[in-house]
Each structure stands twice: as structure tokens, then as C-alpha cells.
Amino acid sequence: MTHFLDIHKTDPADLRNMLDQAGAMKTARAGMPKGTPDADQPLANHMVALIFEKPSTRTRVSFDLGVRQMGGQTMVLSGSEMQLGHGETIADTARVLSRYVDLIMIRTFEEDVLLELAEHASIPVINGLTNRSHPCQIMADVMTYEEHRGPIKGKKVVWCGDGNNVFASFAHAAGQFGFDLTFAGPEVLDPEQVFIDEARAKGVTVEIDRNPERAVEGADLVVTDTWISMHDSQTARERRHNLLRPYQVDEHLMSHANPDALFMHCLPAHRNEEATDGVMDGPHSVIFDEAENRLHAQKAIMRWCLGV
């Protein structure tokens, strides 16, 4: 079964082919109204279940639109309204959905839910974000970097802030696409060591630097994300803000990066917390290209999963 569970679990040649196909599909639709069907309809007669146990704007809309552009149909399901949220096992849910639909995308909390669903489904499963990773986002981000600046291989990416699920997928991508990665954040919010070790084992440099200005020296790409993720407790809000404030991406910090550095944020953002308006709306920012490229990258991911 061809699941898309994480970037480090997917063959690098397949990842590259997906980005090539995403770019080609994007080009083919340039200038068309959003609802125009693609010339190819590889998902014709396919039904896709989109399951959300957490809120979403981009993931929900881009998957739904992408399926429709490729000729398929979707059903968007809220985890809390399914029996899944009321005691039915993940394994049984996987077996049942496998009788009805051709593909499942799930956004959930614990990674184990995703893995168990994939283990028991006889159809492909896509990770639409867990507490531990967000691979679809970083496929869109690599696509976005390369659209603007060419190959990401050998470039320096600097992450400022919380060592969260989005950072983890950047670490996975560093190993697979061959870019160097620096984490700049407070020690108590360090990423899991396994993400760093796995990337290093693939031959890329991964560093931790507590000094944000030093970290972004020579950066080709500066990235941040919300200081409090959907799975984080709100009770620690003030403490996290105090810890993370020195890592806010503002114009001064960006001035330490390479002059042609890009700035990314997966969104949703808390403006003037993790990044200032001046950076979010400034000349380095490609945040809305990232959001658009979720659509194109995920269309290619779905085609790869279904082999169509």
C-alpha cells in the first residue's frame, strides 16, 4: 500500500517526481478559473475521505479542491462526529472506510492514530498533520523554495522558534532533499533528537544555535511557525511566549540572512508574535505561495498514492 505518512519514509526519487508533477500541473492550469477541471482527470470515479480531528483552513480547502480539479469526489468528516471519536477502534474504522472510499487523508493528534489507520487500511492514507509531523506542508514549501530560487540542495534553512511538528518535517526533508538545517530556539522547546539524528545520518548538517542572529547568518531560507500548536496546552501560553520572544522573526533578524533569503510560515500565523507584519508582508516573504502550493503538491501526492 502506498501511504504518504512522512517525508523520510518516502523514496527521494518519488518525492522529486511528485514535485516535478506538481509543478507541471500548476503550469498547465495557470490563469484558469479555480473550478476549471484539469485536462487530465486521473481521480475520475474516485472517492476521497478527508478526516479532521483538529481545525484546518488550508489543508481542508486545498485537498478538497485538488480532488475536484482531478475529477474525483470528497467527503469531509469531523473526527468528533464519527464513531472514531466515540470508542470505535482505529483498526475497525480503517477496515470500514476501505470498503467505501479510495483514499483517506487524516489530520489527527497522536501519530499512533495515523499509523494504526495506515496499518489496517487496504487503501492509501495521507498524513494531513499530527502532533509529530506535517509532511504535505513541507512538500509545498520545498516546491515554493525551488520555484523562486532553484534547487534547495545544499542551501541553508534556519528554523526560528518551537521545535514542533512542522520543524520535524523540515528535518525529514533536509535528509531527503539534501539541505542543511539550523534550529534556533530555547532548549526546553528543542525538537526530538531522533529528527536531528536521522537527517545527519543522511549526510546533511543539522545544527542547534541558541543565538538567533548568529543562526540566520548565511541563511537562504528563514522559517517560523506559531508558538503554540493545536496540540499544546494553552495553560503554558505565557511561559512559551517568554521563552520564544527572543526568536521572533523581525526585519532586523532577517537582515542577518542572505540578501536573497526567503521567509516562510505555514500559516495560520499570530502576526507580530512569531513574525512581524514587516516580515510577513515584506520582500522576503513567500507565505501565500506556500499556501497555494499545498494544492499542487497534494494533487501530486494523491496521484502517487493511487498510482494514477
Q: Which residues bind ligand CP (CB under 6 A)?
A: 56-59, 129, 137, 266-268
Q: For the chain, give the number of residues.
A: 308
Which one is catalytic: 58, 107, 132, 240? 107
Which 72-131 residues touch ligand NVA, going by CB under 6 A? Answer: 129
Which one is catalytic: 69, 137, 248, 298? 137
Output the smallest distance, CB 110 to ligand NVA, in A.
Answer: 13
Coil, helix or strand at residue 213: helix
Contact 305, 126 (CB under 8 A): yes
Output the smallest distance, CB 146 to ligand CP, in A.
Answer: 19
Answer yes or no whether residue 204 interacts with ligand NVA by CB under 6 A.
no
Given ligand CP, ligand NVA, none, residue 226, with its beta carbon under 5 to 8 Å by kind, binds: ligand NVA
Closer CB to ligand CP, residue 48 or residue 266? Answer: 266
Q: Which residues contact 281 (CB under 8 A, 6 or more apart)?
A: none
For 308, the grid coordinates are 494514477
Residue 99: active-site member: no
Residue 225: active-site member: yes
Residue 137: active-site member: yes
Residue 265: active-site member: no
Residue 20: active-site member: no
For 250, the grid coordinates are 523581525
DSSP 275: B
Output the smallest distance, CB 288 to ligand CP, in A.
Answer: 12
Given ligand CP, ligand NVA, none, residue 36, with its beta carbon under 5 to 8 Å by kind, binds: none
Answer yes or no whether residue 266 interacts with ligand NVA by CB under 6 A.
yes
Which one is catalytic: 58, 132, 240, 294? 294
The Cα-based distances of 123 to 48, 98, 148, 172, 298 in angstroms read 10, 6, 35, 24, 17
Residue selected from 74, 133, 144, 164 as contacting ligand NVA according to rule CB under 6 A: 164
Residue with cell 485538488: 66
Contact 257, 158 (CB under 8 A): yes
Which of 40, 12, 18, 17 is closest to 28 using CA atoms?
40
Which 207-236 residues touch ligand NVA, going by CB under 6 A? Answer: 225-226, 229-230
Which of 140, 155, 138, 134 is closest to 23 using CA atoms?
140
Which 12-31 residues touch ligand NVA, going by CB under 6 A? Answer: none
Output the smallest distance, CB 266 to ligand CP, in A.
Answer: 4
Question: HSE on the CB side for 12, CA within 13 Å?
Answer: 10
Output the smallest distance, CB 225 to ligand CP, in A.
Answer: 9
Which one is catalytic: 266, 296, 298, 303? 266
Which of 129, 132, 112 is closest to 52 using CA atoms?
129
Active-site positions? 107, 134, 137, 225, 266, 294
